[in-house]
Structure 1
Amino acid sequence: MFLGTTSCRFDAYPTLLAKDGVVDVQTVDFSGETINLTGKWEFYWNEFLDPKGNSPEHKSYLSVGVPWFSQENEDGEEYPSFGFGTYRLTVILPNSDSNEEPFALSVPALHSAYKIFVNGELVAENGTTSTTQEFHRPSFHTKIIPLMVVSNKLDLVIHISNFSHKYAGIHGLIRLGKLQNIIHIWNVNFTMSWIIMIFMTFLAIYHALVFFINRSEKNALRMSFVYLGILILSSTLMETRILYNLLSDEFSIPLFRFSRIGFVLVLYFGGYIVLNMPQMRFFKRMLIFLKIYALIFLFVVMFTPVSHLADISFCFEILSGAFVILGLLSVSLALYFHRKESRLYFFSLLLAIIGGLIDILLIANPTFGYRPLGLVSLYLFIFPQTLGVTFGLVRVYKRSESLSKELYKRKEALEKKVKARTLELEKANRWKANFVSLISHDLRSPLNSVNQILDVIDFSFSETTAEEKKKFLEICKTGVTQSLRMLEQLLDVSRFDAFGTKLIQSQFCVNELLNEIIESVEPLATLKGIRIQKETPIQAEIIADRTLIGEVFKNILTNSIKYSYLNSEVWIGLSYKGKWLSVEIRDRGLGMSEEQIHRLTGEETIKSLPGTAGERGTGLGLQLCNNILEAHFGKLRIKSVLGVGSSFEISLSKSTKSVLLVDDSGNFRSDLAEVMRRNQWIVIEAGNGEEALSHLSRITPSLIITDLHMPGMNGISLIHEWEGRRHTNQKIPIILISSDAPLSGGDKFLEEEGLETIVSAYLSKMYKAEDLCQQIESILE
């Protein structure tokens, strides 16, 4: 379509210019060529010459293809737009016989009414010519005029009157050639004009549909109006003047007004798109001026009397160039700030402006032999915008397709999670059913130790010294105290529910916890003569549930003592291994086979073997340890040799990079938490603001991520509450997330809440968990 409508081409024989009202075309091969009748014609201002008479002695010459109002007479004065006159040209034709195909003229709209005489005979009339405005009737039809020439000389006289248009006289170019060639050119132009109009109609509908498909693409709706304006301009201003040719002369002035409406549509909606690109306050103010200007222009076009319409609308068209310059500045700044599609808009607008300047030059100098670009310059500007809107639609489609796939994957993941949650519920129920056994397992060892010491005291009470009695009583008191503390911790049954083990995390020193655990099992070790050797060269701090991790240490240390030989040794070591903190407990005792290890760490309840001193157990200790370590994303490794002993290695994350994740959506929270844990974050989860504040009373995380909308205490209230409670030195980065948040921007409400300096970022939950985690880490960096 672009190539077919390109009118910037080299015209045949550009050097055959009329001089002093005469043009000699005897050398032209009209069998395949047509020529434009350009150059200097005779011109008689405010005169209608007798077409059969000779030319008067007083002659003026005027260039055709250029309106007479832009040219000067012999006195150096410019002709006014309104008036009448006569053009005259003598064409010397090649010798021909009567059997040759006749010549024809292709006549564009000559502004704005005319009569054409050939060799003194009237051959065409358009509108009503008159010496006064009262009787003048404009017409903008285009015509093909066959010429029955009987000689090799053509005397062409044209009477033109104009009282309705700024551009007066022979503004277009009259083409001369053989009838079939003229008809062929006419058909090509006529066909291409219809193709352009159909194409513009299609594009207008297409952009309107894009907007209705995706209401966020407001530029698509604006482009729909731009194409509607171009459709109006194409149907009224192109050489074929399709609407004018379809309707009678009574519609000339309404169609003239209609064409200016098309200009207003293109100016306003095209300018709105361009001026809005850099998103700067100055250009947004200019949009207000553009709207006012367009409305005034529209009012002028619709209601100004015909006598003033041409001059006033011409002034508005010239002033519109200011918005074109503003548009170029706007897209230049958008290009500088790397706005979306700014490069495409910049070069397209620049090419359109260059095309417009070339048109002005060619219209002023029609003898160059080139035809103006016309609407082609406008196409250079609008097509990139269509591409931009289309690419935006493609991106929306791909995004929708991606979201559909993501929803399907999440549906599958949700089904898997439901199954997993069901298994966890069953597992939790099993834990609750065996909770009494767990309590008895953990309480039996220290109470048995106390019982055995009391038996010793009772058996040899009279032989035991007061110092030894006091020592034994202190051991018994310590054992009972530890048992009561353990009972108080373990009786919190609510910590084992359908969602696994609830963690109350805090930052603590592992060395101190190990000392407490060793102290609590000391009575049991003393009775068997077992020495506990500790090798902890480092001071390690971790973030975890101190009570539950202590249960793991105690359980494994108790088992090591239980299955160690009398008068042997239990070794405890603390070290760093890569990203993990390793706590290793080794004993010299019965040991285990691979099958026993597999059964002990599995979920099946088994009967525990008695210890080296006949101690009994439930077999649930290692299962409890695995459950607790899984909740901490820790690991338990067991190595054992029958008859030699066993080694238990507990691996915990040494990272203190912690995040408090607050969200009432369990699925979203668990997905994001899992990704962050893979990135070495220690994640503390909370389902609402109150639970989050409870965590913050025990631990100060490295980061707080909170949902905006939550039942009860929402994200804004949580942040305000925390800011009121925190100490001066407890400055924690806070990231706010929401499913309502746009993919970029949209955080102006933070200023209203006074949180713009507190909240580091406001992010959308529509991102994948991996992408959201990456954004969070980039913000913190």
Structure 2
Amino acid sequence: MIFTVSISSIQKSFSTLVKFCRYPLILVFALLFSQSCHLDVSPTLLAKDGVLDVRMANLSEDTVNLIGKWEFYWNEFLDPKQISPTNISYLSVGVPWFSQANEDGVDYPSFGYASYRLTILLPPKTEERETYALLIPVLHSAYKIYANGKLVAENGIIGKNDTTHKPSFHTKIIPLIDINQKVDLVIHISNFSHKYAGIHGIIRFGKLEKIIQVWNEYHSATCIILIFMGLLSIYHALVYAINRSEKNALRMSFVYLGILILSATLTETRILFNFLSDDYCIPLFRLSRVGFVIVLYFGGSVLFSLAQMRIFKKMLVLLKIYSLTFLMVSLLTPIKHLALVSYYFEFFSVIFVILGLISVSLALYFQRKESKLYFFSLLLAVIGGIIDVILISNPNLGFRPMGLISLYLFIFPQTLGVTFGLIRVYKRSESISKELYKRKEALEKKVKARTDELEKANRWKANFVSLISHDLRSPLNSVNQILDVIDFSFSETSEEEKKKFLDICKTGVTQSLKMLEQLLDVSRFDAFGTKLIQTKFSVNDLLNEIIESVEPLATLKGIRIQKDTPIEAEIIADRTLIGEVFKNILTNSIKYSYLNSEVWVGVSYKGKWLSVEIRDRGLGMSEEQIHKLTGEENIKSTPGTAGERGTGLGLQLCNNILEAHFGKLRIKSVLGVGSSFEISLSKSTKSVLLVDDSGNFRSDLAEVMRRNQWIVIEAGNGEEALSHLARITPSLIITDLHMPGMNGISLIHEWEGRRNQNQKIPIILISSDAPLSGGNSFLEEEGLETIVSAYFSKMYKAEDLCEQIEMILM
């Protein structure tokens, strides 16, 4: 039993360890794989006693690293044509001469001058003319190169003291012309400006085209890295600008700026040195130290802030002092001392790297935010640095140092950490915004309900006062007076007069009933807001019904109604209210037309609009009368040509109804000639049922969709939406998810159960809870992916939401 528990515990611990270390293990395996590939494609040949035999090398496929033991002549500029020098000694190249000892066991100093010599034995010459070349890295000094006794290149000005010596940090490609069986290389080097001296970089030898290819690869990689570092620096600065609490983002912006400087001055191509002349060599060297200081200070600030401990805040103060001192030294120290001083500053910077590793380790122990990423990235950077030290000290291993790759291993995970932090802030902001939006909707509903009640009361009061104060009171007063007369002299009044008085009373009551009927239309349309019961219907059929109902009134005045409807027009609208518009205008035309005249009714299409025009020959109106009729002020009605009376509310009601349908009424009139009334209605059959309990959101979206030629049918809840669907089949259904009573999902399932098979309507679900992107997962969870076309957030602007909806339907 104990044994089983132990095995289980070991397995669990091992699984946890693998999961914990999965990211660094992947990176380590990738690095090992890349290094192993390097061994296969770049075989290493070593020079022995100043001779390098490349006769068996395949120079058509690869280049050769000129490493191994070269002849070395300290404090001597060897005659390149001298065949048998006397004081021969040998020195390894690929490492600086100050790290190697002479025959007496004494290390060479950094500052001095010397000559290197190497004989390269070449493969047998082919019939083709072959051009070889050398790729010379930065040697941190000045040099001259001779091939077979001829000067082929020089860099800077060599000298035997610091007054005659002028350094140059350029890299060069040196073609070797007319080379046969061997190359006798002699390199004169002087150094009085840098800690690292001699041939400490790796010189490459090969055919010219391969050397150019290698150079282009290095140069392109450096340019890409520089651009990438610049973009990352800007990105982190923008992250900080968006969220000022992310101070690490600002620090990382400076870290990337420092790495950008280091990449331009310390990578193998030394791209800035190559772009500029030797006059800028020393300033660029100082600039590289400045880049190192920037990376050290701001990178250390990031690491020390992770542990959130007081002791590391003190270390941060110490790091600031150290970095400022290093910066001043880099800018002000004379060049002959700068290399040595900066070397020791760089060496002691390792202390802060170790402190940073301790800080990150403590952060990992206390489970601070993003501590895993920082711990493994710093650990890999340290491992990469140790590997570099080993490779630089032992160039014969055949590996090239990783250089700034170690630093990249440190900064990329930090970029991920900052980005993850920004994503968390964004999600938190989105969650807060949703909560605020919900509260805003709830408050809107309360305010809207109260406002609707007050507006309803005010509208009712205004309509009743207007009606009683004008037309409604007059006929009832007349009826009341006539009844008083009949009652006073009933016995003395003849039957004929009684009949006449009763007809007058009946006419007055009929007029009052007509006015009350119009008032009820106003109350249905106006008192409860825009309650449109929209259906698809034929305009021609509706006009026929209206004309038939007013025909008796026209016949009494001898007026002919001429109809010109050459098209069969169908629209989506409230049939009853549009019929009220037609009836009001047609009745008015008959009312104000001369006896035995003509009223013309025509239907036509004008662009995106259906036009219904009614023209009469009658009294006509002035511009002032038209303005009053279409305005909002209450007016008294004008008697018709036969003394007819009206409410004075007809055209105002028509305008309100057409406005709710986004239609228009245009009036043209000439006094004494007649009037023309043009009713314009949208001929679009592109309709949408918009279901949302938030009046403000619904009205905003409806307004935008109507401007985009949609016929919008609004509903405040699921029950109301189903009643609309019983009368009309829209082109699209948009429904809110959260509604009182029947919510959006219940509405969708209810409609799916009721609809006919041929009533397949696209459905779009909206909600303040919906993410701004990636809402399909919610539809899959609810089993709606085959029913609902899309799930959108209400956080979008109405214009953007409408645009996305129309893109879904295209």
The normalised TM-score by structure 2 is 0.51
> What is the match of residue 16 of structure 1?
45
Q: Which amino acid aligns with 2:424?
A: R
- 1:53 is matched with 82
Q: 1:221 aligns with which of 242, 250, 255?
A: 250
Which residue matches 1:109? Answer: 138
What is aligned with 1:168? 197
- In structure 1, what is the equivalent of residue 241 of structure 2? 212
Structure 1 residues 268 and 299: alpha-carbon distance in aligned structure 2, compared to 1, 3 A threshold? same
The separation in 1 between residues aligned to 2:149 and 2:40, in whole angstroms, is 29
1:458 match: none
Structure 2 equivalent of residue 416 of structure 1: 445
Q: What's the counterpart of residue 187 of structure 2?
A: 158
Distance in 2 between residues matched to 1:98 and 1:417, nearest whole Å: 96
**Corresponding residue number in structure 2 for 1:89:** 118
Give the aligned residue type for 1:143: K
Q: Identify the residue that residue 325 of structure 1 maps to in structure 2.
A: 354
Aligned to 1:276, what secondary structure does the other structure show?
A: helix
> Does structure 1 conserve the Cα–Cα contact (< 8 Å) formed by 2:131 and 2:179?
no
- What's the CA shift for 1:360? 0.1
Identity of aligned residues (%): 69
Out of 386, 407, 419, the position equivalent to 2:436 is: 407
**Corresponding residue of 2:288:** 259
Shift, 1:99, TM fit: 2.5
- 2:444 aligned partner, one-letter code: E
Q: Which of 120, 134, 144 does residue 149 from structure 2 map onto? A: 120
Classify 1:10/1:77 alpha carbon distance in 2 versus 1 (closer, same or farther; 3 Å): same
Residue type at the aligned position of 1:371: R
* Aligned equivalent of 1:336: 365
Contact 1:233 1:262 in 2 (8 A): yes
CA separation in 2, counterparts of 1:164 and 1:190? Answer: 26
Q: Which residue of 1 aligns with 2:375?
A: 346
Counterpart of 1:392 (choices 413, 421, 430) is 421
Aligned length: 426
Q: Is the 8 A contact 2:170 2:274 kept in 1?
A: yes
Report the alpha carbon displacement of residue 407 of structure 1 after superposing the two structures with TM.
1.5
**Post-superposition offset of 1:182:** 0.6
Q: How far apart in 2 are the matches of 1:15 and 1:213? A: 52
SS of residue in 1 equivalent to 2:67: coil
Cα offset for 1:41? 0.5
Alignment partner, residue 146 of structure 1: 175
| 1:420-479: CA deviation from partner (whole Å, max 9, x where unpaired) | 889999xxxxxxxxxxxxxxxxxxxxxxxxxxxxxxxxxxxxxxxxxxxxxxxxxxxxxx
Residue equivalent to 2:714: none
- Alignment map for 1:193-592 (pairs within 5 Å): 193-418=222-447
Alignment match, 1:76: 105
Q: Could you say what secondary structure the match of 2:178 adopts?
A: coil
The answer for unaligned runs of 5 or more in structure 2 is 1-29, 455-810
SS at match of 1:100: coil
Q: Within 1, Cα distance between the matches of 2:168 and 2:397?
A: 28
1:66 maps onto 2:95 in alignment: yes
Question: Which letter maps to 1:386?
Answer: T
User: Which residue of structure 2 lines up, in the alignment, with residue 130 of structure 1?
Assistant: 159
Residue aligning to 2:527: none
Q: CA deviation at 1:291?
A: 0.2
What is the 5 A alignment of 1:735-746?
none
CA distance in 1, matches of 2:40, 2:118: 20
Q: Residue type of the partner of 1:340? A: K
- Decide which of 38, 43, 63 is 2:72's aligned counterpart: 43
Please tell me whether the aligned partners of residues 64 and 173 of structure 1 are also in contact (alpha carbons under 8 angstroms): yes
Change (3 A) 1:55 1:241: farther
Q: Report the counterpart of residue 186 of structure 1 in structure 2.
A: 215
Following superposition, the deviation at residue 414 of structure 1 comes to: 1.6
User: Does the 8 Å CA contact 1:142/1:245 hold for their aligned counterparts?
Assistant: yes
Question: Alpha-carbon deviation of 1:415?
Answer: 2.2
Q: Retained in 1: the 8 A contact 2:145–2:185? A: yes
Query: Does the aligned pair in 2 maintain the 1:40–1:63 contact within 8 Å?
Result: yes
Distance 2:37 2:288 in 1: 23
Deviations 1:230-258 (A, max 9, x none): 00000001111100000000100000000
Write the deviation string for residues 69-115 of structure 1: whole angstroms up to 9, x where unpaired: 11111111111100000010010000113623311111101221000
Quick one: structure 1 residues 134 and 274, their matched pair in 2 at CA, closer, same or farther if it must change by over 3 Å? same
SS at match of 2:47: coil
Give the letter aligned to residue 131 of structure 2.
Answer: P
- Following TM superposition, by how much is the alpha carbon of 1:12 offset from its aligned partner in structure 2, in angstroms? 4.9
Q: 1:8, 1:371 within 8 Å by CA — same for their partners in 2?
A: no
- Tell me if the contact between 2:35 and 2:399 (Cα under 8 Å) persists in the aligned partners: no
Q: Would you say the 8 A contact 2:364–2:375 is kept in 1?
A: yes
SS in 1 for 2:59: coil
CA apart distance, 1:261: 0.3
Offset of 1:8 from its aligned partner?
8.9
Q: Note if contact 1:2-1:376 (Cα within 8 Å) is conserved in structure 2.
A: no
2:240 and 2:35 map into 1 onto residues whose CA distance is 30
Q: Separation in 2 of the partners of 1:6 and 1:209?
A: 36
* Residues 310-332 of structure 1: per-residue CA shift (max 9 Å, x gap): 00000000000000000111100
The 8 Å contact of residues 118 and 156 in structure 1, kept in 2 or not, is answered as yes
Give the 3-state SS of the residue equivalent to 1:406 in structure 2. helix
Q: Residues 394 and 241 (structure 1 numbering): CA distance in 2 closer, same or farther, change over 3 Å?
A: same
> Structure 1: which 5+ runs fail to align?
426-781
- 8 Å CA contact 1:7–1:372 kept in 2: the answer is no
Q: Which residue of 1 aligns with 2:730?
A: none
The answer on whether the counterparts of 1:20 and 1:40 sit within 8 Å (CA) in structure 2 is yes
SS of the equivalent of 2:38 reads: coil
Q: CA deviation at 1:419?
A: 6.2
Post-superposition shift, 1:7? Answer: 12
Aligned partner of 1:597 in structure 2 is none
User: Residues 207 and 291 from structure 1, CA distance in 2 versus in 1: closer, same or farther, beyond 3 angstroms?
Assistant: same
Change (3 A) 1:201 1:390: same
1:57 deviates by 2.3
TM-score (norm 1): 0.53
Q: How many Å separate the matches in 1 of 2:104 and 2:85?
A: 19
What is the one-letter code of the residue matched to 2:396? T
Q: CA 1:243–1:2 in structure 2 vs 1: closer, same or farther (change >3 Å)?
A: farther
Contact 1:93–1:152, Cα closer than 8 Å, also in 2: yes
Cα shift readout 1:270-319 (whole Å, capped 9, x = no counterpart): 00000110111111110000000000000000000111100000000000
C-alpha spacing 1:372/1:338, structure 2 compared with 1 (3 Å): same
1:496 is aligned to none
- How far does residue 11 in structure 1 lie from its aligned partner after superposition? 7.0
Query: SS at 2:143's partner residue?
Result: strand
The corresponding residue for 2:62 is: 33
Moved more, 79-88 or 8-17: 8-17
Q: Which amino acid aligns with 1:292?
A: I
Contact 2:132 2:179 (C-alpha < 8 Å) held by counterparts: no
Per-residue CA distance 1:363-388 (angstroms, 9 max, x = gap):
00000011111111000000001111
C-alpha deviation, 1:126, in angstroms: 0.3
CA distance in 1, matches of 2:36, 2:76: 34
Report the AA paired with residue 135 of structure 2.
S
Paired with 2:412 and 2:67, the residues of 1 have a C-alpha distance of: 33
